[in-house]
Every structure is written in C-alpha cells, then in structure tokens.
Amino acid sequence: MGQPFDEVNDVVVRSDGNMYFSDPNYASPKGTLPMAFYRLSPPPQSAVTRIVTGNNANGIALSPDGAWLYMATTDGGPALRRVALAADGSVVGNPVTWTDPTSDGMAVDCAGNLYLSVAGGTNQINVISPTDQPIGSIVGLGGGYVTNSAFGDDDRKTLYITTSSALYKIQLNVPGFPN
C-alpha cells in the first residue's frame, strides 16, 4: 500500500498462503495507515488489502477449515468479529460482531473452539464455541494479565498461556489447530 504500518502484532497464515495480520498502535504512530486487520495475498499478487479497522486491532485466528477469520480488539468497540473467507482468501461480506470481551490474543482447537486471552487486566482465558456460545473459562493464572495462548507439544493438547509476568501450560482433552 506504499505506507508503513505502525506495530504489526498478531499474524495467522492459511494453508493456501494467505496471511492475515493486525496492526494496532500502542505507542506513538509510525505509519499513516489506520489501526486495522489486513490480508496479504500469496504470490504472485502479494497484494495488501484492509479487512476492517478497529481500535488496537490485536488477536487474529482462523477456523480449522480456513472458512472464517476471527479478529479481536483490545480497546473498545467491537470486541470480537468474524468474517467469512472465499476460496481465494478474500473476505466475503461484512464482519459480524460478537459480544465476548475484548481479546489480546487467541488460539483455536480442532473442534473450532476459541480460547480468548481476555484483555483489560484480567487473568483468564474464555473458551467459546464457533457459534459464540460460552463453554468455560481457565482462571486462577496468578499475577499479571493474560496476553496470549497457543497450542503446543507433539499431541497439540497442551495450551501455553502467556501473562505479563509468567508462562503457564495446561493439558486439554482436545488438540489445538496448528495455526
């Protein structure tokens, strides 16, 4: 787009090479583009397109089938949105706003459930279904606020959780999606 970004933060890559990323502005602005979520299409086009703007655009994830993109902000208005993706990776229609709290980062399991690092100084992970139904929370993570989570280990059933002061891990029954 011929202009610098501010603070490219989270990124996820679809199996076909489409890259989706967030560009918030937590410090002084460096670029001139608005805080937003973007798509970088695979070569040979390698075109950058803006998906949607959002105050402190942050967490981003894909559904296991690559048909949905989830986007979360950490500073007011719409907290969590999802949008359908076409076969070529482009956005189909307008993002739908969900009502869950804002999220700093997120992970997705193989069943399509989202693990949201609840922003705003809390120390928990909220788990919601792909249809935005609450499943539960992971609480009691000690001091600091939760910043992100990711699945790891050979069986991908270990959820690693970062906070502002520690790293935690928890064994789950469902494997994570390898985003």
* Domains of the chain, residue spans: 1-99, 122-179
pLDDT at 147: 85
State the Cα–Cα distance between residues 70 and 117, nearest whole angstrom. 13
DSSP 176: B
**Beta-bridge partner residues of 85:** 91
- pLDDT tens for each residue of 94-142: 888 876 667 778 999 999 999 998 766 678 899 999 988 999 999 888 7
- pLDDT tens for each residue of 19-61: 999 998 877 666 678 889 999 999 999 999 999 988 888 889 9
pLDDT at 119: 63
* In CATH, 1-99 is 2.40.10: yes
Question: What are all long-range contacts of 78-82, with beta carbons under 8 Å and residues at least 24 apart?
Answer: 78/54, 79/103, 80/116, 81/52, 81/54
Q: How far apart are the first and last CA of the chain?
A: 26
C-beta of residue 6 within 8 angstroms of C-beta of residue 30:
yes
Q: How far, rounded to the nearest angstrom, does the alpha carbon of residue 30 sit from its chain's CA centroid?
A: 23
Give the start-end residues of each E strand in the chain.
11-13, 19-23, 36-40, 48-53, 57-62, 68-73, 80-85, 91-98, 103-108, 114-118, 125-128, 134-138, 146-152, 158-163, 167-171
pLDDT at 79: 75
pLDDT at 43: 94
**pTM here?**
0.90
pLDDT at 54: 84
